Structure 1
Amino acid sequence: MDSVVAWTTWATLMGFVGLAALALTAAGPAAGRIGVDTLTAVTTRLSRVAVALGVLAVPAVLTDLAHGASASGGYAYGAAWNTVYDGSNDGRLSGLELTFVLIGAALLAPLTVRKVAAGPARRWLLAAGLVAGAVALGTTKFPDAVPDDWGRAVFETGMWMLHLLGSAVWIGGMVGLLLLALPGAVAPTARGAFWSPAIRRFSAAAMSCVAAIALSGLFLYWEHVDGPTQLITTMYGRVLGVKIIIFGALLLLGAVNQFWLHPRVEALRAAGDRRPLHMILIRRFPAVLAVEVLLGLAVLFVAPFLHGSARNQAYQADVAEHSRVALAPDRLPKLDPKESSTSTWVWGTAETAAVIAVMGAGYRLSGRVARRRANAATTAATNDQGDLVEA
């Protein structure tokens, strides 16, 4: 039950952020090029689901707080409510989390009305709602005490924000695309003009998110794991290993979309395929996307099991094994945080440059593949038509 509550909290907060980001940066601009009706339909569908997730995040967060406030392992909602803005740092962060997710939902609520969804306030409301949702998500990793080392605390918080926001925009965006693939969001006559630029825009955002997740993940790995063997010998490492495997599967499916599926759809359209675009997409794109969404939600389910660090777990296991006196788990010693050196910064800079280069090259390469296949399909279709005219 605890895992379900934690998963619901993460899924609602990240879903809200991802849907708002998709409507603002990918689906909205693609729909706006087609016309007001398409922009209205896309904006209202994404906004309605986002508002619902924002509202559902409130009881999810309160339930999580209620479980932590209960001494018997149950759910003390009254005690949880009393901790909100109680003067402590934890209380302030919990209060800010609830406040900002409600503010975000309130900002997006007008966009659920068709008359407002395509109006001039659309971008401002989406941007403000996205910022509010990002703050609500960030409060889960903001420091709950005045740090001794402000530089390290700011850097760690920045890495967590990259990790959380990258995951939210990527996973929430996939959920949003799946929602738009369902009937009623985009008119059949507009699907051909909508999906290609929408997918391309989201691909750029998704690759940026993958880069953010990879870079922040490498830092968190360096901070909490001392070598690959701890991925097997510690509970933290095994859970992290499962998360890495799921993330790898997500990357593989994303590559299938980027380098095979999307270029193939482009080629079919360029060749004059007269079937409705949704027939092509419904059979290929949403099926792969649905699997990606399930894997993304699986990552959110696994993540709350990452407690402590593999370094401390391995160290404490060694101390307990060689101690002559039985030690309670809460009395076991802990290692000091890792200290960065010059080589750490050199390797970190090299990794950052490598990840950015690979993501950028991948995006450019996938674009070239799509253009080549589309051009080849157009040439073949033109030659076929010429042969028919001569005959």
Structure 2
Amino acid sequence: MTQIAAAATPYVAPKVWRVLIEVGYFGALCALIGGLVTVLLVVLPAATGDEDGGATAADHRARRRALGMFPLIGLLMLAALYLQMAALTARAGEFGFGRGLQPGAIGDFLNTPRESGEWVARSMLRSLQVALLAGGAALAIVAGRLRSVRWAAVALLVAVVGELAPSVPTAFGGLTVDDWLHTTLVQVHILSGVCWVGGLGVLAYLAIRSRGEGSGLAWARIWSRFSVLAMGCAGGILVSGLWLAWEHVGSFAQFVTTPYGRFLLAKVALVGLMLLAGAYNQLVLLPRVTRAMREHDETRVGRAVFDHFPRVAVAETLLGLGVLVVVPFLTGSARSEAGGGQVGPLDGRTFLIGVLLVAAMLLSFWATGRIARAQAQRPHVPADRPTVSAGHPGE
């Protein structure tokens, strides 16, 4: 890729109210979309019964508790959505947040006419997003009150479409492959992040609430299924994150010499710690659970799924919230701040590098799975097992 020279653009830090509102909004989005994905694809399928095929009382409690969260999550999403729209209105109108809270000001923002050459106004797509996210939140409330899997699935579909709505181009003329790739990878980044962080938070909450009354075997299945989902989300974040970092940072020096680069470096460090925690789950905790289940040791299974896994999940969730705090500070780009210009069009060399990085990531995931399976086959050695000295066999 080539760079197009440009003058340096000074960094402008976001206001405190913007940071707080964006963190609250994306946190609520994590809980809504990530929570629904995790409950529908992980918790409910895993809490279907024991080895004999019959659902236990603990399984029924887990299902009711999982769906019972969504009335509160839906209400939080509605409140966060209103505050987010007020913040966007205030930023667009360049006035105070208090005025942005007024329904009339938000209405004016959502009725901005389309510009010349657009097939649809940007404000129309934003209005569609508001309607769909609000609808998804309302449907989640209904799903939770009725304990309905079907309504939860509809709520998830509506919410995801709502998140994607503003990414639709308002004009198709002049769009390049880079434009389409950027739009796609931004949404992959967002959806992967909200599913990962939201899923971790939901599972940590449910596991802590289920301690002492939940089924260890059911929760062993839940954590195992979520590890697959988390690995897919991590892959989406890594692929999209590498591309977006290349777009916004022109050299390693810009990571430390520009405000954008330093904030991005902080975000990368937090995500890296989340990946390390996920690797600990995959390589240590899950094999430990598998060995305990093979040996029918329910005490060890319960200790792992209700104590160790939730602690790691809480830590990962806090790291994820740290990432959300950093996100509002990523405005502009390190390239523009350094005066290096924007990245040029995608070329064959950069595409090949991207393919190789994706292949390396897939290889690492495959190797992680192989190592985890090998760890699970190792026999369990009790912590209090006496050791025998090789030099003194009688001791």
Query: Which residue number in structure 1 is paired with residue 388 of structure 2?
Result: none
Query: Which amino acid in 2 is paired with 1:97?
Result: Q
Q: Deviations over 1:73-128 (max 9, x none)?
A: 333223123212444433223212211111212332332135x43xxxx2x43333
Query: Which residue number in structure 1 is paired with residue 32 of structure 2?
Result: 16
Once the two structures are aligned, what percentage of the paired residues are identical? 28
Query: Which residue number in structure 2 is paired with residue 389 of structure 1?
Result: none
Distance of 2:47 and 2:298 partners within structure 1: 22
Distance of 1:15 and 1:140 partners within structure 2: 20
Distance of 2:249 and 2:221 partners within structure 1: 41
2:47 aligned counterpart, secondary structure:
helix
Query: Which residue number in structure 2 is paired with residue 44 of structure 1?
Result: 67
Q: Taking structure 1 as reference, are residues 352 and 279 closer, same or farther at Cα in structure 2, changes over 3 Å only? A: closer
Distance of 2:145 and 2:36 partners within structure 1: 16
How many angstroms does 1:193 deviate by?
Answer: 1.9
Aligned pair partner of 2:136 in 94, 99, 104: 104
Aligned pair partner of 1:354 in 348, 353, 360: 360
Work out the number of aligned pairs and report it: 351
The 5-angstrom pairing of residues 106-121 of structure 1 reads 106-113=138-145, 116-117=147-148
Normalising by structure 1, report the TM-score.
Answer: 0.81
Query: Which residue number in structure 2 is paired with residue 92 of structure 1?
Result: 124
How many angstroms does 1:132 deviate by?
Answer: 2.0
Q: Deviations over 1:203-227 (max 9, x none)?
A: 0011111111000011111111111
1:127 aligns with 2:153: yes
1:136 aligns with 2:168: no
> Which structure is richer in relative contact order (CA contacts within 8 A, separation 6 or more)?
2
Distance of 1:56 and 1:363 partners within structure 2: 41
Aligned pair partner of 2:263 in 217, 236, 239: 239
Q: Deviations over 1:325-384 (max 9, x none)?
A: xxxxxxxxxx344211111111111112221222233234324423x14xx2499xxxxx
1:213 aligns with 2:245: no
Query: Which residue number in structure 2 is paired with residue 343 of structure 1?
Result: 349
Q: Which moved more, 1:359-368 or 1:6-15?
A: 359-368
Q: Which moved more, 1:35-44 or 1:246-255?
A: 35-44
Aligned residues of 2:223 and 2:305 also touching (Cα < 8 A): no
1:255 aligns with 2:255: no
Query: Which amino acid in 2 is paired with 1:303?
Result: V
2:97 aligned counterpart, secondary structure:
coil
Query: Which amino acid in 1 is paired with 2:91?
Result: G
1:33 aligns with 2:57: no
Aligned residues of 2:289 and 2:300 also touching (Cα < 8 A): no
Query: Which residue number in structure 2 is paired with residue 363 of structure 1?
Result: 369
1:75 aligns with 2:91: no
**Unaligned 5+ runs, structure 2:** 1-16, 115-120, 383-395
1:226 aligned counterpart, secondary structure:
coil
Query: Which residue number in structure 1 is paired with residue 337 of structure 2?
Result: 313
Distance of 1:93 and 1:129 partners within structure 2: 19
Q: Deviations over 1:297-348 (max 9, x none)?
A: 11011011111111111117xxxxxxxxxxxxxxxxxx34421111111111
How many angstroms does 1:186 deviate by?
Answer: 7.5
Query: Which amino acid in 2 is paired with 1:90?
Result: R
Distance of 1:86 and 1:193 partners within structure 2: 54
Aligned pair partner of 1:165 in 191, 204, 209: 191
1:174 aligns with 2:200: yes
Query: Which residue number in structure 2 is paired with residue 286 of structure 1?
Result: 310
Query: Which residue number in structure 1 is paired with residue 118 of structure 2?
Result: none
Q: Taking structure 1 as reference, are residues 255 and 172 closer, same or farther at Cα in structure 2, changes over 3 Å only? A: same
Aligned residues of 1:23 and 1:43 also touching (Cα < 8 A): yes
Distance of 1:154 and 1:199 partners within structure 2: 35
Query: Which residue number in structure 2 is paired with residue 386 of structure 1?
Result: none
1:202 aligns with 2:226: yes
Q: Taking structure 1 as reference, are residues 102 and 265 closer, same or farther at Cα in structure 2, changes over 3 Å only? A: same
Query: Which amino acid in 1 is paired with 2:64?
Result: A
Distance of 1:53 and 1:277 partners within structure 2: 34
The 5-angstrom pairing of residues 370-389 of structure 1 reads 370=376, 372-373=377-378, 376-377=379-380
The CA RMSD measured in Å over matched residues stands at: 2.6
1:33 aligned counterpart, secondary structure:
coil
Distance of 1:142 and 1:307 partners within structure 2: 21
**Unaligned 5+ runs, structure 1:** 317-334, 380-391
Query: Which residue number in structure 2 is paired with residue 385 of structure 1?
Result: none
Aligned residues of 2:34 and 2:196 also touching (Cα < 8 A): yes
More helix by share: 1
Q: Deviations over 1:51-76 (max 9, x none)?
A: 23432332232232243145343332
Query: Which residue number in structure 1 is paired with residue 385 of structure 2?
Result: none
Q: State the 4+ residue runs in structure 1 displaced beyond 6 angstroms.
A: none
Q: Taking structure 1 as reference, are residues 79 and 69 closer, same or farther at Cα in structure 2, changes over 3 Å only? A: farther
Q: Which moved more, 1:8-17 or 1:227-236?
A: 8-17
